[in-house]
Structure 1
Amino acid sequence: MADDADASTTTEERVEETPAQRGDTDADDGYSWGGRLSPENLVSWIDPETYPLPEFGEDPREHGSRVPVEIEREYPVEPDRVLAVGLVLLLVGMAGSVALSLVGVSIPPPIQSGITAGLWVFAVLYLVAAVVWLFNLALGWQSGEPPIEYGADDVQVRILTVDATGTVQRTIDHLPDSLTDRHVIAESDIDVTGATVHVVPESFECVATNKGRALEWARRNVPCDREYVLYLDEDTLVTEFDGLPDADLVQFREWPMKTDSWWTYWAEILRMGFQLEQLGYAEATIPLYSWGGGLAVRKSVEDTITWDFDTLIEDTVFMWFAVENGASFEVVETRFRNQSPLSLTEMFDQRRRWLVGTIRSEEYLPLGHQILLTVRNVVWGFSPILLVLTFPLAVSPLELPILEPLRAVTWVLLVLAAVWVVAGVRYYDYRAQALPVLVLSPLVIFLHAVGALWGFLFPPQTFHTTPKSADTDSTE
């Protein structure tokens, strides 16, 4: 176990005072701290998503979730959405040109050149996203598992919830006995055993909202003499804990379990295969995303960065700010169980929320990372269109120049998708219930991206938490 005093000194040297604490509105590195996203423009989104836990063997539909939280919301025009609309117009133009060619109508050369150029732009976007993913994966392969330096005695556990008593109790019950410093941060008073419950008072005000507000209140008011705070969502089941490496932020991996829908479960398997790139994030300048349902934060870094900023994706934005200010980031192979969405409808809405939340927070990043996230968002949202076009493009006898870029990209996407699917099945130890995704992967990829495309083209006027239920256990 590392020496606490030395670790604290190292952290203070590593993490500088943030622009927010200095009172600056603009940081020297080009992004504006707190001035780009205002509280009145944010969605009232409470995460983590809750589900009431039935007894093993009971029908989960007997246990209704809370009424979703909703709020009216208007969206500004964002670069991601402008690019998405442009690509839709491009695909419509391509389809029209092909249709005209089939009936013998010649396409004016300027229009054909414009569509071909646009499709090459489309192809480059996909290839850039593929190269970035492969690069992160290569970094992960080269870097080994970081050594464990801190044990359970150095960790305080904080479980975030609104008022999901049964869900939180099960999460507490799954904590290893070695994790003794346990706290629940709730919006309403709940009765659980095995942890101290803290209720965020309604009178508490800060810049952050919803989950970020609860995190910030806990940071200020919950005593902690441990080196780390391990944050868990209310549905996170910790089945093993081997300790923490000497890093300022430590990301645990997810293991989504099946709930009521096979399709959402298989989509999560695909997502876990894609998230293999997280293993390379320890070497990245700024990791692109994190999972707040299993995130350990060095307490001194938390107090330096704070959670007091406006965003829908507080875990990822906190990580961005911390790393930009010099904090170290590690990913460990330990996997915590969580829940896959209850239905396809809920998954679509969840993915749409993730995409819009990312779009609304991109400006917290330096320009290069904003551009990279924009490209990745568009690639994710438009992958269904390419998958739909793959078979017709492969068998089409037409040899039109305007089709060649799209034809090449569809095959690149298919190869990468196959890698993600196989990697996801391997991540699940080749369990029998994961194997059907190998055959159904085109449809699963399509379903996984529908919510993102939906968010691009039709941003919702309301947001709500996704209800969940479960009859699965951590032994899955």
Structure 2
Amino acid sequence: MTDDGDEDDGRTNPFAADRLLALFFLAVFVAGLVVTLGSPTWLPYRPTLRGFVYLGLWLFVGMYAVATGVWAYEAYLGWAHDSPPLAYGPDDVQVRILTVDAADVVQQTVETLPDELADCHVVAEADIDVDGAAVHVVPDEFSSVASDKGRALEWARRELPCEKEFVLFLDEDTLVPEFEGLPDADIVQFREWPTFTGSYLTYWAEVLRMGYQTEQTGFPALNIPLYAWGGGIAVRKSVEDSVTWNFETLIEDTVFAWQAVRAGAEFEVLDTKFRNQAPPSLRAMFEQRRRWLTGTLRDEAYLSRRFEALMTIRNVAWAFSPLTAFLILFSGAIPTTTPGQVPFRIVAWLMFGFSLIWVWRGWRYYEGPSLRTLPVFLCYPLVVAFHSAGAAWGFLSPPESFQTTAKADEAGRDETSADGDSNPADGER
């Protein structure tokens, strides 16, 4: 693709730039550990190695500064953007809930739907019993370019009758506390509200992620949304039929949004928050982040060149976010005679502290003090490391197929407000 959206079939390896950059910073990090913690006697080039690390970390600082600068600009766009008025009501919407076979989780999702969303369908991979919704099983013989969730979405697009203006797509664990309507846009993104499912570290990582994703409100002002959440997104039926889900990807929701906006669709974000589940374990979170990172890397070629370059920088910065803490450690090993040593130390502390802004934004997103959200301020370097570990894993070992994140059943899921969380349907601003 060129910058104006024209395709370039010669670009067949979207991994290359990302992996080369990631390997370079991995070498910088390993060399930095050797220099900082003490080099072995068989390594006689410590001064040369220190210079390589120093230069490499300055390059990392520059890359990270670009990523955070873009985030700050998007956050400003979101602050300045006013959502358009609602133009369509619940009667104009068909609900489709995607699942493999999690009947208990889906039943809770259906029971939470407002009564006005009466046209409700469950698209499953196995025959399950769900009260209050029509259940449709994707036939084994159905084939498409898309696989896994994308295959189910494509089958439903072709086979489920829909006379409504919009289709509201929900994940099996998405709870909709209220639904007032939709603006006159082609794709309407709702916001996430991850709930506690037993793991404090994954919950705090979601608080951090929600703080970072406040940039999402600025996406309508961009030429393209950088990512989408398929667990709560409404799509105009005519746009779904035009774009289809018939493409191979691990991130079907984001790629669909990219394709639709490139074709002229209008993207909008509402402040309404739907509840969903935080990953129940670190392993589940690592797998989830790994799939997100790998899917984005593989499908960056759907983007224009400038957005592909931006996503490359963002992905590498995400995977190497723990380096911000290492910058402080390394700055203490730099001789005071080194040019730029003082600015480097200042920048190191600034970058280390910047992630606190995302933590603070996430804390605000959850709307006030909470016994569950407050501890994230005390251990946020560890939370940043865990949040990034799955992305780093995606660079080292990309998954070959889609893997559904494990969900807690009704007994293991926290829906109450006992920890101080308020109504997720209320707007953030």
Q: Is the 8 A contact 1:337 1:474 kept in 2?
A: no
Is 1:183–2:121 an aligned residue pair?
yes
Cα deviation, 1:166-220, whole Å, max 9, x if unaligned, reads 1111100000001111111111111111111111111111111111111111111
**What is the SS of the residue equivalent to 1:29?**
coil
Q: Is the 8 A contact 2:173 2:407 kept in 1?
A: no
Are residues 1:29 and 2:11 paired? no
Shift of 1:364: 1.2
| Structure 2 residue corresponding to 1:437, chosen from 359, 367, 376 | 376
What's the counterpart of residue 398 of structure 1?
335
- 1:253-293: CA deviations, max 9, x gaps? 00000001011111100100000000100101111100000
* Corresponding position: 1:287 with 2:244: no
Range moving further from structure 2, 198-207 or 222-231: 198-207
3-state SS of paired residue (1:433): coil
Output the CA distance in 2 between the equivalents of 1:120 and 1:397.
Answer: 13
**Structure 1 residues 460, 293: closer, same or farther in 2, change over 3 A?**
closer
Report the TM-score, using the length of structure 2 for normalisation: 0.88
User: Structure 1 residues 28 and 378 mapped into 2: Cα distance closer, same or farther (>3 Å)?
Assistant: closer
Query: Alpha-carbon deviation of 1:107?
Result: 5.6
Aligned positions of 1:208-219 closer than 5 A? 208-219=146-157
Equivalent positions of 1:345-356 (< 5 A) are 345-356=283-294
The partner residue of 2:86 within 136, 148, 152 is: 148
Q: Does structure 2 retain, via aligned residues, the 8 Å contact 1:380–1:452?
A: yes
User: SS of the counterpart of 1:158?
Assistant: strand
CA change 1:281–1:26 in 2 (3 A) is: closer
Tell me the CA shift for residue 372 of structure 1. Answer: 0.6
Q: Which moved more, 1:442-451 or 1:85-94?
A: 85-94
* Alignment match, 1:312: 250
Q: Which residue of 1 aligns with 2:426?
A: none
SS, match of residue 374 in structure 1: helix
Matched position secondary structure for 1:336: strand
Q: Measure, in 1, the Cα distance between the counterparts of 2:343 and 2:158.
A: 54
The 8 Å contact of residues 123 and 406 in structure 1, kept in 2 or not, is answered as no
CA RMSD for the aligned pairs? Answer: 2.8
For the pair 1:121 / 2:97, whether they are aligned, the reply is no
Choose from 74, 77, 90 the match for 1:136: 74
| Cα distance in 1, alignment partners of residues 399 and 128 from structure 2 | 32
Between 305-314 and 412-421, the greater mean CA deviation after superposition? 412-421
In structure 2, C-alpha distance between the alignment counterparts of 1:183 and 1:462, rounded to whole Å: 26
Contact 1:228 1:299 in 2 (8 A): yes
* 2:208 aligned with 1:270: yes
What SS does the corresponding residue of 2:66 show, helix, strand or coil? helix
Residue 268 of structure 2 corresponds to residue 326 of structure 1: no
CA distance in structure 2 between the partners assigned to 1:250 and 1:361 by the alignment: 22
Deviation at 1:468, TM superposition (A): 2.3
1:471 maps to 2:413: yes
Contact residue 300 and residue 311 of structure 2 kept, 8 A:
yes
CA contact (8 A) 1:230 1:296 kept: yes
Relative distance call for 1:93 and 1:233 in structure 2 (3 A) is same
8 Å CA contact retained: 2:324, 2:352: no
Aligned counterparts of 1:463 and 1:160: Cα–Cα separation in 2: 14
Give the C-alpha shift of residue 315 in structure 1.
Answer: 0.2
- Number of matched pairs: 412
* Structure 1 residue 448 corresponds to structure 2 residue 387: yes
Distance 1:315 1:428 in 2: 24
Alpha-carbon distance between aligned partners in 2 of 1:114 and 1:30, rounded to the nearest angstrom: 39
Change (3 A) 1:467 1:107: closer
Residues of 2 paired with 1:26 and 1:370: CA distance? 10
1:20-70 deviations in Å (ceiling 9; x for gaps): xxxxx999823358x959xxxxxxxxxxxxxxxxxxxxxxxxxxxxxxxxx
Alignment of 1:405-424 (within 5 A): 407-424=345-362
Aligned AA for 2:115? D
Instruction: Say which is worse superposed, 453-462 or 116-125, in terms of deviation.
Output: 453-462
CA shift for structure 1 position 343 = 1.1
Residue aligned with 1:78, SS: helix
Residues 100 and 106, structure 1, Cα contact 8 Å, conserved in 2: no
In the alignment, structure 1 residue 357 sits paired with structure 2 residue 295 = yes
Percent of aligned pairs with the same amino acid: 52
1:459 is matched with which residue? 398
Counterpart amino acid of 1:471? R
Give the Å deviation of 1:394: 6.0
**TM-score, normalised relative to structure 1:** 0.80
For the residues of structure 1 that align with 2:2 and 2:45, how far apart are their CA atoms?
54
Deviations 1:367-416 (A, max 9, x none): 111111110011111111322443x2465573244866764553332332
Contact persistence 2:228–2:253 (CA under 8 A)? yes
Separation in structure 2 between the aligned mates of residue 303 and residue 27 of structure 1, nearest angstrom? 26
Change (3 A) 1:128 1:408: farther
1:301 corresponds in structure 2 to 239
2:163 corresponds to? 225
Q: Give the letter for the 2:392 counterpart.
A: L
Cα separation, partners in 2 of 1:351 and 1:408, compared to 1, 3 Å: farther
Secondary structure, aligned partner of 1:198: strand
Letter in 2 for 1:456: F
Determine helix, strand or coil for the equivalent of 1:185: strand
Which runs of no fewer than 5 residues in structure 2 stay unpaired? 422-429
State the distance in 2 between where 1:32 and 1:240 align: 44
Query: Corresponding residue for 1:71?
Result: none
Please identify, of 414-423 and 91-100, the stretch whose mean Cα deviation from structure 2 is larger: 91-100
Moved more, 356-365 or 464-473: 464-473
Residue identity in the other structure for 2:335: L
Checking the alignment, whether the CA contact within 8 Å between 2:36 and 2:333 is kept in structure 1 is: no
Task: Give the corresponding residue for 1:4.
Answer: none
Q: Which residue does 2:21 correspond to in 1?
A: 83
> Which deviates more from structure 2 when the two are superposed, residues 433-442 or residues 131-140?
433-442
Alignment partners' CA distance in 1, 2:398 and 2:119: 41
User: Which stretch shifts more, 86-95 or 339-348?
Assistant: 86-95
Does the 8 Å CA contact 2:174/2:274 hold for their aligned counterparts?
A: yes
Q: Rate the CA distance shift 1:149–1:461 in 2: closer, same or farther, 3 A.
A: closer
In structure 2, distance between residues paired with 1:306 and 1:220: 9
1:256 corresponds to 2:208: no
Higher relative contact order (CA 8 A, sep 6+): 1
